[in-house]
């Protein structure tokens, strides 16, 4: 019997050892997992939170650049100056300078009347380079507001975009600003645009540099003035006026006669129309349906009677008497 139990007992012992090994491995796995979880939780607890970063500010808006061509087309009238700028393409040079946010531009624009005061030969005889220099002579390569001209007058002469000897003298007398060239001294009479980096000011004369015009160019001839009417003397009027005096009374008399004749013609015309209506009414009244038309005719007659002038009413009364309307039943 003991020998029979021997193999069973050995088998049980072997199974117990295997079970112990499994339990040991399970315990080791659980311990390892617990240790890993503890380490990760401690590391997470010790790491500082991510710092809060404020949102980055929005980029500054791009500066608004004025379109000089559109501005001079709408404002003004500056059509003559704009045509010269487009013809010589100096407008592109001005526009590029107006887009320069560091320097900017100050443009002096003569109106059409300023060009009209010059003779056509003054500008028509210029070469293309001279015309470009003349146009560039009307701009400073820097932005100046109206308040800047007071200090700018201390820096005379001021260089223009034409460069070299093309300079201008600025004066500010109690807010009245003049931009003087060699042969003209125009004033700024209007601020067309004054937002950095571009300033556009209207002037009443064309700036004429001595480098192009060796002498003061002649102005265009002024239109002939209207003839002045001489006032008559208060002491004794001339005989011509005395002789012509009755003509005024004659003209007034003839006007009155023409007015009265026109009124009389109107009265006769109205009388003729009403007389015809009276004749038609007398014939209609002779019929059976004539009495039905009596009331509408009377109402229409009264309405027109009120609208007629007094003289016409008198003539109509006389017409009614002549036709015997007072005897019509």
pLDDT digits (tens, 9 = 90+) for 102-140: 999 999 999 999 999 988 777 889 999 999 999 999 999
Residues near 126 by beta carbon (within 8 Å), at least 6 away in sequence: 134, 212
**Inside any domain, residue 280:** yes
Minimum mean pLDDT among 124-138, 199-213, 243-257, 284-298: which range? 243-257
Work out how many domains the chain is built from and give that number.
2
Strands 105-110 and 198-203: parallel
Q: What is the residue-wise DSSP string for 35-46? A: HHHHHHHHHHHH
Residues 97 and 172 in one domain: yes
Q: Which residue has the higher pLDDT, 196 or 305?
A: 196
Average pLDDT, the chain: 74
Q: Rounded to an integer, what distance in angstroms lies between the CA atom of residue 216 and that of residue 183?
A: 6
Instruction: Tell me the pTM.
Output: 0.51
Mark out the alpha helices in the chain (DSSP H runs).
Answer: 2-46, 68-74, 79-88, 90-98, 112-116, 120-124, 128-136, 149-152, 239-285, 294-307, 310-323
Residue 322 pLDDT more than 60? no
The verdict on 187 and 79 lying in the same domain is: yes
Q: What is the CATH number of the domain that holds 175?
A: 2.30.180.10
Whether 44 maps to a domain, the answer reads no
Residue 9 within a domain: no
Could you give the CA distance from residue 218 to residue 123 in angstroms, rounded to a whole number?
A: 12
Q: Is residue 284 included in any domain, yes or no?
A: yes
Whole-number Cα distances in Å, 93 to 85, 103, 318: 10, 14, 90
Is residue 221 exposed (0-12), middle (13-18) or buried (19+ Cβ within 10 Å)? exposed
Q: Are 113 and 202 in contact (CB under 8 A)?
A: no
Indicate whether 11 belongs to any domain.
no
| 311 vs 124, residue with greater confidence | 124
Cβ atoms of residues 90 and 136 within 8 Å? yes
Q: Are residues 185 and 276 in the same domain?
A: no
- Domain hosting residue 146, numbered range: 68-203
Q: What are phi and psi of 171, to 5 degrees?
A: -130, 140
Task: Give the mean model confidence (pLDDT) for residues 236-247.
Answer: 43
CA atoms within 13 A on the CB side of 163: 2
| Domain membership flag for residue 61 | no
Rounded mean pLDDT, 256-264:
49
CA distances in angstroms from 153 to 168, 175, 191, 196, 263, listed in the order given: 10, 12, 18, 20, 76
User: Within this chain, do residues 264 and 194 fall inside the same structural domain, yes or no?
Assistant: no
Determine how many CB atoms are found less than 10 A away from the CB of residue 207: 25
Query: In which band, very low, low, confident or very high, does the pLDDT at 250 lie, cut at 50, 70 and 90?
Result: very low
Measured between its terminal Cα atoms, the distance across the chain in Å is: 171
């Amino acid at each position: 019997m003991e020998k029979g139990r021997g193999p069973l007992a050995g088998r049980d012992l072997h199974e117990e050892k295997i079970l112990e090994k499994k339990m040991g491995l399970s315990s080791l796995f659980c311990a390892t997992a617990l240790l890993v979880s503890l380490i990760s939780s401690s590391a997470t607890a010790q790491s500082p939170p991510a710092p809060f970063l404020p949102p980055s500010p929005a980029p500054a808006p791009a500066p608004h650049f004025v379109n000089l061509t559109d501005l001079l087309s709408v404002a003004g009238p500056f059509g003559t100056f704009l045509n010269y700028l487009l013809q010589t393409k100096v407008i592109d040079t001005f526009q590029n300078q107006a887009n320069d946010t560091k320097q900017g531009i100050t443009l002096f624009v003569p109106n059409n009347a300023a060009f009209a005061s010059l003779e056509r030969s003054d500008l028509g005889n210029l070469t293309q380079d001279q015309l470009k220099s003349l146009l560039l002579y009307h701009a400073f390569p820097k932005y100046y507001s109206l308040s800047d001209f007071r200090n700018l007058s201390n820096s005379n002469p001021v260089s223009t975009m034409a460069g070299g000897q093309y300079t201008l003298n600025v004066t500010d007398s109690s807010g009245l600003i003049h931009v003087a060239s060699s042969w003209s001294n125009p004033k700024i009479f209007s601020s067309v645009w004054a937002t950095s980096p571009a300033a556009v000011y209207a002037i009443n004369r064309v700036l004429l540099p001595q480098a192009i015009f060796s002498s003061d160019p002649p102005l265009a001839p002024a239109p002939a003035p209207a003839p002045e009417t001489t006032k008559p003397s208060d002491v004794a009027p001339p005989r011509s006026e005395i002789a012509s005096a009755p003509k005024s009374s004659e003209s007034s008399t003839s006007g009155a006669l023409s007015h009265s004749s026109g009124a009389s013609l109107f009265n006769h015309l109205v009388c003729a129309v009403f007389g015809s209506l009276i004749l038609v009414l007398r014939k209609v009244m002779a019929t059976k349906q004539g009495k039905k038309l009596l009331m509408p005719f009377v109402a229409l007659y009264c309405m027109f009677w009120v609208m007629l002038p007094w003289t016409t009413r008198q003539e109509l009364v006389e017409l009614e008497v002549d036709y015997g309307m007072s005897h019509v039943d």
